[in-house]
Amino acid sequence: MSAILPPSERIWWKTPVGKEEIVWILLALIWCIIMFAMMPIWHIYGKQNLSNEAYKTTPVQYEAKVKAMTEQHTIRTQLVGGVDVPVVAPPAGSDVYMLARLWSWYPMLELKKGESYRLHLSSLDWQHGFSLQPININLQVLPEYEMVITITPDTSGEFTIVCNEYCGILHHTMLGKIYVTE
Amino acid sequence: MSQYRICPDTGLYFDRASEGLIKANAVAGVVALLIGGVLALLVGLTRWPAVHLLDAPDFYLVLTAHGINALIFWLIFFEIAILYFASSSLLRCRLATPRWAWAGFALMLIGAVMTNVAIFQGNSSVMMTSYAPMEAAPHFYLGMILFAVGALIGCFVFLGTLVIAKEEKTYVGSIPLVTFGALTACIIAVFTIASGAIILIPSFLWSIGLIGQIDALMYRVIWWGMGHSSQQLNVAAHVSVWYAVAAIAFGAKPMSEKVSRTAFLLYIFFLQLASAHHILADPGLSSTWKIFNTSYAMYLAVLASMIHGLTVPGSIEVAQRKKGFNNGLFEWLRKAPWGNPVFSGVFISIIGFGFIGGITGVVMGTEQINLIIHNTLYVPGHFHATVVLGTTLTFMSLTYFLIPVLFRREMIMPGLAKWQPYLFSGGMVVFTLVMMGAGTLGVPRRHWDVGFAQAAEMGLKFEFPGSATMMLGLVGISAVVAVLGGIIFILITVGSIVWGKKLEKSAGLMQSFGFALAPSCYTSEKLEPVKGPAADLEEHGSGGFEAPGTFVLALVLLVTFVVYYFINWKYLSSVWPMG
């Protein structure tokens, strides 16, 4: 009479299945197919999608790109822990670079509301987590991989990047900034 | 021959060698749970902003140790015990190669101790995931490898026992459903351990300098082949225990062997793909790959869990209705033995796993929705609902059953045992909900300073809304309540084994919880093949529903699921456009 004994019917695979089980399996299957379909549908009609663009890189190569952008477009600096961190305002539509390293995001960015930017992300050392707050967009940042994602800020103000992949002893001090102007 | 002991209370058979191994593995598991639980308290008290107990290095160390002890060592030790029970005891068969089984146990123990030593020495605060290129001490990886090899030996002992049982014809027909579920868990475990070997052995060689570099993305893809499968192993194991407890406590018969076994089979076919939902926010993997893999090929493993979610309580309902609790939709449930921790823990686990763990897991595993959840506190909130409310609570319930049956001891403090599942699960339900609430507001996981006081000193200011701080306070309080429930569990079980009155003959202990065991469990015939009872042909003859109450509960689950799923799409649509 129970699940801890062999099935009572030797040919159990030919016994009929109860009505509620059949109805439930059908309902659940339909729901599973809807959930499956939602992801491609959102790629077509939705506005928030992951990018499929990524490149292999090296810390040296990537840092050089960040440096080139910073030298060209720095508009001011901000003092963090006694060091001047550049705030960079690249032109709308351009490639903007941000790097993650133990334990900072570099540089700070200033973007224009409603404009699109190709944001590049990579790490110079360990894994980091790009968590844009209070918007709450979260991406994984890996060393040797350069992710490119097109973002269009549609709110203005000061935004903070929290590192949300544990990266060692000062992980919790790793903050970055993106400023969005009207 | 005294090779088998027949439990006078239940009629269950215990092979002498298997009995010792089940005890050893269960006890080692409970010790790991105790360590994991004490560490959980420290983590909870640090997350509580008003207390903020540990300093940063200790917090990261303790969090690493908590994850590894509670999520890996406790569960896998206990699962090995379940494998031996589901093969040797349920098939009334001697255990294959007990010496190998003891060797496996020794390796697991050595491995567990070694990894713990590595962590507490302080150079391996790398979190459970130990993401390369962050490096742990060599014996951190070596301990994990030894533990995995030991567990693999346990899996093969289980498979060998199935072979012996078939050869020696100790049962008639097919293996019981619970053994089938354990076989599912075993197959998944072998896959899990193979993935673990592929990533942990190179990591070990890298940590001692024999390999130059470990690619971060490759590590994540393969590590999650182990990391996620090991969770699906827990699911297969605890679902098997659900069926076992339904059988033990109610004499419940599976509604349909075909449906339940097919659902287990779906786990084997489709869950390996699921590891993808841990790497949805990663660069270098295409959306096509992510969508196919995270949806387990159209969510067929989710379908399997939804099926079990209906058939386990459904089989209880059918059994209760046969006993005469036939009024209305829910008399069978109202009149269930809620004072018995074996039943109450399992039923709370079914509800908690389905409504909290299951729904949130699928939602956060949706490719785009993952963008607003990845690596926030939502993630540990979710998996505490699956692992703690699902697996740990189920294993606790089974342990209450094992005290009289396996250890032959009378349980001490039965009055407290009655309340323990409610206290523990009450704490955990609040814990998971507030953790996910804070995660929805963006609070990061594995983070010591979510008030960002240290960053502010450097000139970088940021604060989460006050509601996040409030929820983190509740995280701390509910963690304390749940740990208290866990400590009571350990007090009762360990106390019963050490100080409980020895049971000589039938003591009717299970009855003291307020219900009688199924009559079929009382048999005490000599070792003859395990037969299925005579067919009950009227079972599915009628055109009506056998378990309407369960069906209504399942519909409530589905509606909750649909509503919550689309709420998250709505939330996603409010963040910055990106692509």
DSSP string, A34-88: HHHHHHHHHHHH-SB----EEEE--HHHHHHHHHHHHHHHEEEEEEETTEEEEEE
Contacts of B57 in chain A (CB under 8 A): 169
* B 84-113 near A (Cβ less than 8 A): 90
Q: Is residue B521 part of a domain?
A: no
Q: State which amino acid sits at residue B528.
A: E
Comparing CB atoms, the residue among B216, B286, B310 nearest residue A127 is B216
Residue-level pLDDT at A70: 97
Residue-level pLDDT at B411: 87
Residue-level pLDDT at B514: 38
Average of per-residue pLDDT values in chain A: 95
- Indicate whether B226 and B370 sit together in one domain: no
Q: How many CB pairs under 8 A join A and B?
A: 346
Residue-level pLDDT at B251: 86
d(CA B306, nearest CA chain A) in Å = 7
Whether the Cβ atoms of residue B505 and residue B8 lie closer than 8 Å to each other? yes
Domain that holds residue B108: 10-250
B373–chain A Cβ distance below 8 A for any pair: yes
Comparing CB atoms, the residue among B253, B550, B577 nearest residue A48 is B577
Comparing CB atoms, the residue among A5, A12, A126 nearest residue B533 is A5
Whether the Cβ atoms of residue A90 and residue A117 lie closer than 8 Å to each other? yes
Interatomic CA distance for residues B139 and B19, integer angstroms: 32
Q: Is residue B510 part of a domain?
A: no
Contacts of B376 in chain A (CB under 8 A): 131, 136, 138, 164
- Indicate whether B236 and B343 sit together in one domain: no
Whether the Cβ atoms of residue A43 and residue B295 lie closer than 8 Å to each other? no
Pick from B194, B229, B250: which residue ends a domain? B250
* A 42-81 near B (Cβ less than 8 A): 42-43, 46-52, 54, 78-81
- Indicate whether B199 and B345 sit together in one domain: no
d(CA B379, nearest CA chain A) in Å = 12
Q: Which domains does chain A have, with CATH numbers?
A: 53-181 (2.60.40.420)
pLDDT classification of B504: cutoffs 50, 70, 90: low
- Indicate whether B49 and B176 sit together in one domain: yes
Q: Name the residue among B145, B370, B197 with its Cα closest to residue A136.
A: B370
- Indicate whether B378 and B493 sit together in one domain: yes
* B 3-42 near A (Cβ less than 8 A): none
Pairing of strands A128-133, A104-106: unpaired
Comparing CB atoms, the residue among B174, B260, B459 nearest residue A81 is B459
Whether the Cβ atoms of residue B256 and residue B547 lie closer than 8 Å to each other? no
Of the listed ranges A112-116, A128-132, B168-172, the least confidently predicted one is B168-172
Pick from B203, B231, B250: which residue ends a domain? B250
- Indicate whether B378 and B496 sit together in one domain: yes
Residue of A nearest to B124 (CA): A168
| CATH code where residue B411 lies | 1.20.210.10
Contacts of B533 in chain A (CB under 8 A): 1, 5, 8
What kind and span of H or E run contains B382? helix B378-383
- Indicate whether B47 and B190 sit together in one domain: yes
B162–chain A Cβ distance below 8 A for any pair: no
pLDDT for residue B512 is more than 60: no
Comparing CB atoms, the residue among A6, A40, A165 nearest residue B176 is A6
Please answer yes or no on whether A142 and B282 come within 8 Å at the CB atom. yes
* B 177-216 near A (Cβ less than 8 A): 177-178, 215-216
Pairing of strands A157-163, A175-181: antiparallel
A151–chain B Cβ distance below 8 A for any pair: yes
- Indicate whether B245 and B352 sit together in one domain: no
pLDDT for residue B42 is more than 70: yes
Comparing CB atoms, the residue among A153, A163, A175 nearest residue B576 is A153
Average of per-residue pLDDT values in chain B: 90
Residue-level pLDDT at A51: 84
d(CA B571, nearest CA chain A) in Å = 10
* B 395-434 near A (Cβ less than 8 A): none
Please answer yes or no on whether A12 and B174 come within 8 Å at the CB atom. yes
Q: Is residue B276 part of a domain?
A: no
Strand ranges across the sheet with A157-163: A74-80, A83-88, A108-112, A175-181, A157-163, A128-133, A137-141
Per-residue pLDDT, averaged over B262-275, amounts to 83
Q: Is the ipTM of this complex over 0.85?
A: yes
pLDDT for residue B378 is more than 60: yes
- Indicate whether B357 and B238 sit together in one domain: no
Per-residue pLDDT, averaged over B500-525, amounts to 51
Of the listed ranges B12-26, B503-517, B543-557, the least confidently predicted one is B503-517
Residue of A nearest to B279 (CA): A140
pLDDT for residue B265 is more than 80: yes
Comparing CB atoms, the residue among B173, B251, B371 nearest residue A1 is B251
Residue-level pLDDT at B23: 95
Please answer yes or no on whether A48 and B573 come within 8 Å at the CB atom. yes
B282–chain A Cβ distance below 8 A for any pair: yes
- CA angle B452/B457/B463 to nearest 5° reads 30
d(CA A72, nearest CA chain B) in Å = 24
Residue-level pLDDT at B528: 65
Is A182 exposed, middle or buried, given 0-12, 13-18 or 19+ CB atoms closer than 10 A?
exposed
pLDDT for residue B526 is more than 50: no
Contacts of B418 (CB under 8 A, 6+ apart): B339, B340, B341, B513
Q: Is residue B533 part of a domain?
A: no
**3-state class of A123 per DSSP?**
strand
Q: Name the residue among B57, B207, B190, B240 with its Cα closest to residue B134.
A: B207
Residue-level pLDDT at B264: 96
Comparing CB atoms, the residue among A4, A13, A139 nearest residue B258 is A13
- Indicate whether B226 and B374 sit together in one domain: no
Residue-level pLDDT at B517: 45
Please answer yes or no on whether B454 and A172 come within 8 Å at the CB atom. yes
Q: Is residue B185 part of a domain?
A: yes
pLDDT for residue B520 is more than 80: no
**3-state class of A128 per DSSP?**
strand
Percent of chain A with pLDDT over 90: 86
Q: What is the pTM of this model?
A: 0.94
Contacts of A136 in chain B (CB under 8 A): 372, 376, 440-442, 575
- CA angle B241/B232/B251 to nearest 5° reads 15
Residue-level pLDDT at B525: 43
Reported as a single tens digit per residue, the pLDDT across A75-99 is 999 999 999 999 999 999 999 999 9
Interatomic CA distance for residues B485 and B33, integer angstroms: 12
How many CB atoms are closer than 10 A to CB B305? 25
- Indicate whether B69 and B199 sit together in one domain: yes
pLDDT for residue B538 is more than 80: no
Token digits of residue A150: 């097109």
Reported as a single tens digit per residue, the pLDDT across B286-296 is 999 898 888 77
Provide DSSP, B390-433. IIIHHHHHHHHHHHHHTS-BPPS-HHHHHHHHHHHHHHHHHHHH
- Indicate whether B345 and B197 sit together in one domain: no
Pick from B452, B485, B502: which residue ends a domain? B502
Looking at per-residue confidence, does B8 or A175 come out higher? A175
Whether the Cβ atoms of residue A148 and residue A54 lie closer than 8 Å to each other? yes
Please answer yes or no on whether B303 and A25 come within 8 Å at the CB atom. yes
Q: Is residue B181 part of a domain?
A: yes
Token digits of residue B44: 């909870």
Phi, psi of B174 (to 5 degrees): -95, 160
Residue-level pLDDT at B248: 87
Residue-level pLDDT at B539: 45
Per-residue pLDDT, averaged over B379-392, amounts to 97
pLDDT classification of B543: cutoffs 50, 70, 90: very low
Phi, psi of B551 (to 5 degrees): -65, -40
A125–chain B Cβ distance below 8 A for any pair: yes
Residue-level pLDDT at A147: 97
Interatomic CA distance for residues B363 and B439, integer angstroms: 14
Token digits of residue B429: 């339900």
d(CA B499, nearest CA chain A) in Å = 30
Token digits of residue B1: 């021959």
B517–chain A Cβ distance below 8 A for any pair: no
Interface-testing mutation among B127, B257, B469, with chain A (most A C-beta atoms within 10 A)? B257
Q: Is residue B285 part of a domain?
A: no
- Structural domains counted in chain B: 2
Residue-level pLDDT at B535: 47
B522–chain A Cβ distance below 8 A for any pair: no
Q: Name the residue among B224, B1, B21 with its Cα closest to residue B130.
A: B224
Comparing CB atoms, the residue among B247, B279, B551 nearest residue A24 is B551
Residue-level pLDDT at B544: 67
Residue-level pLDDT at B298: 74
Residue of B nearest to A40 (CA): B291
Residue-level pLDDT at B7: 78
Q: Is residue B446 part of a domain?
A: yes
Contacts of B454 in chain A (CB under 8 A): 170, 172-173
Per-residue pLDDT, averaged over A43-58, amounts to 94
HEC string of B124-143 equals: CCCCCCCCCCCCCCHHHHHH
Token digits of residue B285: 């993997």
pLDDT for residue A164 is more than 60: yes
